[in-house]
Amino acid sequence: MNILKFINFSKLGYPDKNINIFFIFIICNLSIAILYHGTLVYFGFHYPNNTFLFNPADRWADWSNSVAQSSADNPYMSVGPAPATYFPFAYIFFQLGLGAHSIIKYLLISIFLSITSIYSVLIGGDTSLKCTKSNFVKLFLGTLLCYPVIFSLDRGNIDFIISMLCIIFIATINNRLYIIGILSLGVAISLKGYPAAFLLLLLSERKYLRFLFCLAIVFVLTLIPLFCLWDGIFINTQGLLTNLSKFHRLYIIGSASLFASSDPYNTIRLIIFEILNLFKYNYPIESVSYQVLKFYKWLSIFFASLITLFVLIPRVEFWRKIASICFLTILFPNVANDYKLCMLLPSLYILLLDHIKSKSQRNVFIISLLLLVPKSYLFIHGKPISMIINPILLVMGVYYIFSDSFFYINFRRYILNLLIAVRG
């Protein structure tokens, strides 16, 4: 039975109504979560039951730790709570946080980009109804009160900033401000590599010069710091690769990411660990992780390949392309903590400002909303139930993106034509 039938979204359709539903849904669910966890605080419950966020003792740590690393003689050789695994341009960006009022600077940058991205989306629409003061305020407040946005700001993470840069890219891709969009995407990729998935959009629309221009921006922003800053390209590259290896050992093989994550990989690991604990089997976490990763890495590669081909198919609706890319950035390759759900915002904005007509479009919209609200009402040995719910919702979202038979037919035709072209 389709659980979405129990949710009344009958008023979905035109942008004004979509934005109203989004705003009310976010506000209501956030209020319920605050009331619930506030009640637990009143009755003396402690972390993690007293919040839907991360440990309050570690607030803004992602930003503070990265800013501290950026001030070192070489960020990749610095010692800190987490290895320095960002691309080199990110540590130039983090230097904005040096000095007094570091957190205020971070929040101001986030708010500025949020306002800019929402304004870019609204003025890029086809109707004047979208660009109203009421719609702007509802989108702005609704965005800042989304669970992954609050989680990202609470952690001091830059995934929210990256999602806003991607929105600017999407909003300007087909208007005269496309240069700003290309620059925004280039910066986003240079901060963390995964926004490169949005380059598929340029390829699918045959904007090859813009594709190359964006790559050139990434090339400059990445290689110049590697060559010219700190200890030179060889030591910098060696340091980055060493830290990526540490990250893999701590977060993918180890247990450091087994909290507030939305990826199927951690869900599978969590379920296996709970089953092993139930039968009192004491297997090392690393051994289980290696076994899960053996098949999961091939599953994620297949998924990434499928999405890539899907986006490149001619005549696929724009919202489907954006949604599939956003889901790809979350689900590929392995670990996705909850702040990475901010990458749903680009596709959500497209859906909000569209005339929602098809069943698949409505379902993807509803699933996106469900992913953007707190769900940590129950805990399994200190792990939130959202770690099981969110991956299921993400998989359902991917299913509904592909759900129409028309697109199965077009996908099959595209693959057949591709095979014929390869064979010559």
Q: List % helix, strand, coil for the chain (3-state, nearest 5).
A: 70, 0, 25
Q: What percent of the chain has pLDDT over 70?
A: 91
Cis peptide bond upstream of 56, omega within 30 = no
Q: Which two tokens stand for residue 110?
A: 């986030």
The arithmetic mean of pLDDT across residues 176-200, rounded, is 95
In-domain check, residue 1: no
Q: How confident is the model at residue 128 (pLDDT cuts 50, 70, 90)?
A: very low
pLDDT attached to residue 211: 97
Phi, psi of 379 (to 5 degrees): -130, 140
pLDDT tens-digit map of 35-73: 999 999 999 998 988 899 998 889 999 999 999 999 999
CB 383 within 8 A of CB 359: no
In-domain check, residue 313: yes
In-domain check, residue 271: yes
DSSP run (H or E) holding 380:
strand 379-380
pLDDT attached to residue 127: 46
Q: How confident is the model at residue 228 (pLDDT cuts 50, 70, 90)?
A: confident
Tell me which of 110 and 13 has the higher pLDDT: 110
pLDDT at 197 over 90: yes
pLDDT attached to residue 155: 95
The arithmetic mean of pLDDT across residues 258-285, rounded, is 87
Give the least confident one: 74-78, 155-159, 217-221, 226-230.
Answer: 226-230
SS3 261: strand
pLDDT tens-digit map of 342-372: 999 999 999 998 888 888 899 999 999 999 9
pLDDT at 117 over 90: yes
pLDDT at 129 over 60: no
Tell which residue, 336, 284, 312, has the closest CA to residue 148.
Answer: 336
Q: What is the largest CA-CA distance in the chain?
A: 71
In-domain check, residue 3: no
pLDDT attached to residue 346: 96
- DSSP letters of 388-399? HHHHHHHHHHHH
pLDDT attached to residue 81: 83
pLDDT attached to residue 3: 41
pLDDT at 307 over 80: yes
In-domain check, residue 355: yes
Specify the number of domains making up the chain.
1
Give the least confident one: 62-66, 129-133, 163-167.
Answer: 129-133
In-domain check, residue 403: yes
| pTM for this model (two decimals) | 0.92
d(CA 194, CA 376): 27
Tell me which of 131 and 37 has the higher pLDDT: 37
CA 117, 89, 200, 178 torsion: positive or negative? positive
pLDDT attached to residue 87: 94
SS3 44: coil
In-domain check, residue 106: yes
pLDDT at 130 over 60: no
- Tokens 């304004």 correspond to 119
pLDDT tens-digit map of 317-332: 899 999 999 999 999 8
Give the domain range for residue 147.
10-423
pLDDT attached to residue 422: 66
pLDDT attached to residue 216: 97
In-domain check, residue 5: no
Q: How confident is the model at residue 334 (pLDDT cuts 50, 70, 90)?
A: confident
pLDDT tens-digit map of 135-162: 899 999 999 999 999 999 999 999 999 9
Q: What is the mean pLDDT of the chain?
A: 89
With a CB cutoff of 8 Å and minimum separation 6, the contacts of 21 are: 9, 11, 12, 369
Strands 383-384 and 379-380, sheet pairing: antiparallel
